[in-house]
Structure 1
Amino acid sequence: MEFRKSTKNDVPKIMNIVKQAQNYFKEQGIDQWQNNYPNEEVINGDIENGDSYVMLKDDKVVATTVISFDKEETYDKIYDGKWLSNGDYAVIHRIAVDNTYKGLGLSHKIIKYTEDKCRENNVHSIKVDTHEENIPMQKLLTKNGFEYCGIIYLEDGGKRVAFEKNF
């Protein structure tokens, strides 16, 4: 497995994986990643910001994620709980794995890679939010040592459950 920053050439492959995830959420009745989000504009913005990554297996893009060290404004207010820490943190957004490669632990590898990137930047906290009905993501986070911290609201008012891991 290899990780690298995404390039504009990766956008069609990333969008294919995103569309698979959107279809999965729709089939499961989860109102996450619907209404044309994330779209190519969002993905291109992630790439321009230097926050978009892809995972390669045999030179094929098999997963994608965003790892950001910028503060997340929507994390400034947390309800029905509190963050584990108040210092610097990384944020993981938009983890998605190609359907053909699901069940191989690639999402776990993305989290471990994020931890490595954090250590390189002397950051010891990762914060993540997900839809309250996205149980597979919540299980992934818990299995990887994240703790439930409370509720945050996105800029559009969407409710999300928030997790943090300190290491």
Structure 2
Amino acid sequence: MEIRKATINDLNTILQLFREARAFMAESGNPDQWGTAYPPKDLLINDIKEGNSYVCEKDGEIVGTFYFKKGEEPTYRKIYEGGWINELPYGIIHRITSKQGTKGVATFCIGWCYDQCGSIRIDTHRQNIPMQRTLKKNGFTRCGVIYLEDGSERIAYQK
């Protein structure tokens, strides 16, 4: 597998990956985290334009996508029911998903992100059990709870 920055030409494939992810999340008992329309197309276009959107390819086919950025995440400034492992510079992963039926994509993408800076923070919905398992499997520590700008609660992890 290989990681590269997403381009606007990848947008339709990225949108399809998110449609599949929303359906999977709903079937897995997590219908609320991304609902029926998240992430919106405009956000994904902005991620691409800012250079923070990535795709994972296997044999020339896009099998995953995610947002990655080195730097501070404003919603991570306050953490409740725990604390971050450290306050060293970190990278942020958001909106990670993979093509249904593929194996190991999330682990590969997370590993690539970790290799970029050696400290990663990520959050997920309390109902997103598959992602919580993936994070635990990849050596992340559950650090506490953060709240998004809209007040939604998320479980925060760091490695």
Tell me the TM-score normalised to structure 1 length.
Answer: 0.91
* Residues matched between the structures, number: 158
Counterparts of 1:8-157 in structure 2 under 5 Å?
A: 8-30=8-30, 31-101=32-102, 104-118=103-117, 124-157=118-151
For residues 59-103 of structure 1, the C-alpha deviation after alignment (integer angstroms, 9 at most, x for no partner) is 1111001111131100000001000011210011111001132xx
Cα displacement (A) at 1:29 = 3.1
**Amino acid in structure 1 at the alignment position of 2:78:** K
> Identity over the aligned pairs, expressed in percent?
44
**SS where residue 79 of structure 1 aligns?**
coil
**Amino acid in structure 2 at the alignment position of 1:46:** D
Q: Distance in 2 between matches of 1:35 and 1:133?
A: 16
Q: Distance in 2 between matches of 1:148 and 1:2?
A: 28
Q: Distance in 2 between matches of 1:116 and 1:128?
A: 15
Q: Distance in 2 between matches of 1:116 and 1:82?
A: 23
Q: Runs (4+) of structure 1 moved beyond 3 Å?
A: none
**SS where residue 83 of structure 1 aligns?**
coil
Q: Distance in 1 between matches of 2:71 and 2:41?
A: 21
Q: Distance in 2 between matches of 1:143 and 1:42?
A: 29
**Amino acid in structure 1 at the alignment position of 2:67:** V
Q: Distance in 2 between matches of 1:162 and 1:139?
A: 13
Cα displacement (A) at 1:28 = 2.6
In structure 1, runs of 5+ residues without a counterpart are 119-123
Cα displacement (A) at 1:35 = 4.6
Q: What is the alpha-carbon root mean square deviation over aligned residues?
A: 1.0
**Amino acid in structure 1 at the alignment position of 2:43:** V
Q: Distance in 2 between matches of 1:48 and 1:157?
A: 27
In structure 2, runs of 5+ residues without a counterpart are none
Tell me the TM-score normalised to structure 2 length.
Answer: 0.95
